[in-house]
Chains A and B, each alone.
Chain A
């Protein structure tokens, strides 16, 4: 039986993006006024796990890190079909950057025990660093394939996957245990169902704290985060128009000069 861990993050509902505000002091998202949902790409990761379970034997653990209210999204994963939910929650985990988040998640996965596959969304809709998945793989010392869009062969230990690569794609042969980050073209996630919610009544969420993971408080949360957000701002896209005169040749020469001067052409 495949043992799959799906990493999920609670993010502010992207549909309510206009309500999202940033604390100017801590430079972190103010989450109180916006409903939290499962990071949309993590839904694709969970759906991939559910597909593997439907077509073979698999047990799925949904793993998240966040304050206790983030347990709601773990519960949703259980309603969607995950077998077990684990929430890493401790005041010490707060303020974590991608690195500290990946470290904490990796420690959680180590505590879960033997696994075959870790699935993550390619990026979160709020942070969007795309670093957490690969960093978890590094901490776990397993191969990682990013931007997986199709699992072509998934039997035994040797898998073949198709993954995005700039304008094309890669076909990657990988041996389990491994970690994949997935794109939205991998599948179409199922919606929550009422009967799934009812079934989730029988499933429990385990909460693990700093003590459960047996890690130093210096290595997690804000203290374990090497990233410093120095400044936040809004990018201003300014446009200006310059009308060129002269003959067609003169205008073409002037245009080449302007583009070369701006570094747009070599």
Chain B
């Protein structure tokens, strides 16, 4: 018999993450919405609350809790701030290649500081010519003795301006079929974080461009085998990236549902709360059904990932379903709020803007369908 219940410990992780999000993340939201910048205090709070340490093995200063615990934490943080959950999910995207493919020296060098938040990570793969198809990237490397010389640009990189430890993907100048995944430190000669984006939603989560101009990376920073870098980054993006977006979307769905229930119980029309109207109940039922189904898909994929099995296809299904559902939920939540839904004082207007960013992040719904179709047809 399949057991669909969370363990007592997992329920406690949820409670811990919820307490953290409600008490320590929520106060930063007005500043994030106003400035669009990442508050220093928020990053410090995430580190202190051990949020970056969840998937890092305990041998390297992490908690070694795995992916279900990560999904729980992301869901609870996204329920309060999707921008913060996004930031956190991409920290993990930068950390995962080091966990999975790093040498012992690399793990000891980077993971302990990444676990505490002393170092901040990201993964930089996407370029103007390739995001979901990383073979289309133009950033290139050549070897010069013990050093990789990298040139190129990356765009739409979450945490671009706050990360100091970045996993990047570059193509061999001499052989376009060979890729290398390399760990870059922001102080390296030739590295620069350039343009900062102003997104429609997820304000306060930093996204921007990176420039590599004769960026010199020592060979000790190569992740995995030389020429096999695609495998390194795709392993991280497929499971951890999509899984992280599922957490963001589930939290957003929950926030939309909770706000809609509260508002529809308080808003009186025709002498009764609007939650008594069948048309409102219909929307709330749809939101609830989508949330329940999304959780089943997401946590099933996380459970597979925790067993060490490939889960990127299952996460593609969950990512498609939950991000689409979060966009539907945000639209319905705004509709239920009527005119109030257009006012910034009401969080649902932020949910609507955030939902627009959740969709394309870590692969659009159309790309998810491509992946799911390949899986089904294989």
Contacts and interface: CB of A to CB of B under 8 A. Distances in A.
A197 B49 contact: no
Interface stretch (B6-14, B192-200, B335-343): B6-14
A72 interface: yes
A43 to B, nearest CB: 10
Interface string A182-204: 00000000011111111001000
B12 A191 contact: no
Interface in B252-309: 265
Contacts of A47: none
Nearest to A18: B265
Interface stretch (B18-26, B143-151, B170-178, B179-187): B18-26
B69 interface: yes
A66 to B, nearest CB: 16
B63 A194 contact: yes
A75 B65 CA distance: 18
A201 B7 CA distance: 13
B50 interface: yes
Interface in B59-74: 63, 65, 69, 73
A195 B53 CA distance: 10
A75 B12 contact: yes
A195 B15 contact: no
Contact of A193 (B8, B16, B69, B265): B16
B54 interface: yes
Contact of A194 (B8, B24, B65, B265): B65
A196 B65 CA distance: 13
A192 B63 CA distance: 15
A65 B333 CA distance: 41
Interface of A is mostly: helix
A76 interface: yes
A100 interface: no
A194 B53 contact: yes
B54 A192 contact: no
B12 A76 contact: yes
Given A76-B15, A198-B63, A193 B49 contact: yes
Nearest to B50: A194
Given A72-B8, A75-B8, A197-B9, A192 B50 contact: no
A191 to B, nearest CB: 4
A168 B279 CA distance: 54
Nearest to B63: A194
Contacts of B69: 194
Contact of B13 (A72, A191, A197): A197
A169 B315 CA distance: 58
A179 to B, nearest CB: 28
Nearest to B24: A191
A33 to B, nearest CB: 14
B12 A79 contact: yes
A197 B6 CA distance: 15
B13 to A, nearest CB: 6
Contacts of B9: 197, 201
B64 to A, nearest CB: 9
B135 to A, nearest CB: 38
Contacts of A76: 12, 15
B27 to A, nearest CB: 13
A195 B50 contact: yes
B12 A197 contact: yes
Most interface-central of A76, A191, A193, A198 (chain B CB within 10 A): A191
Contacts of B19: 191-192
Interface in A23-74: 37, 72
A93 B249 CA distance: 44
Contacts of A75: 8, 12
B8 A191 contact: no
Contact of B16 (A18, A37, A72, A197): A197
A192 B65 contact: no
A193 B20 CA distance: 9
A91 B215 CA distance: 71
B79 to A, nearest CB: 13
Given A75-B12, A76-B15, A191 B20 contact: yes
Contacts of B12: 72, 75-76, 79, 192, 197
Contacts of B50: 193-195
Given A72-B8, A75-B8, A194 B13 contact: yes
A192 B15 contact: yes
A196 B11 CA distance: 14
A192 B18 CA distance: 10
Contact of B23 (A79, A191, A193, A196): A191
Contacts of A18: 265
B270 to A, nearest CB: 22
28 contacts: A37-B15, A72-B11, A75-B12, A79-B12, A79-B16, A191-B16, A191-B19, A191-B20, A192-B12, A192-B15, A192-B16, A192-B19, A193-B16, A193-B50, A194-B13, A194-B16, A194-B49, A194-B50, A194-B53, A194-B54, A194-B63, A194-B65, A194-B69, A195-B53, A195-B63, A197-B9, A197-B16, A198-B63
The 10 closest A-B pairs by CB, nearest first: A192-B16, A191-B19, A197-B12, A194-B50, A194-B63, A191-B20, A192-B19, A195-B50, A192-B15, A194-B16
Interface of A: 18, 37, 72, 75-76, 79, 191-198, 201
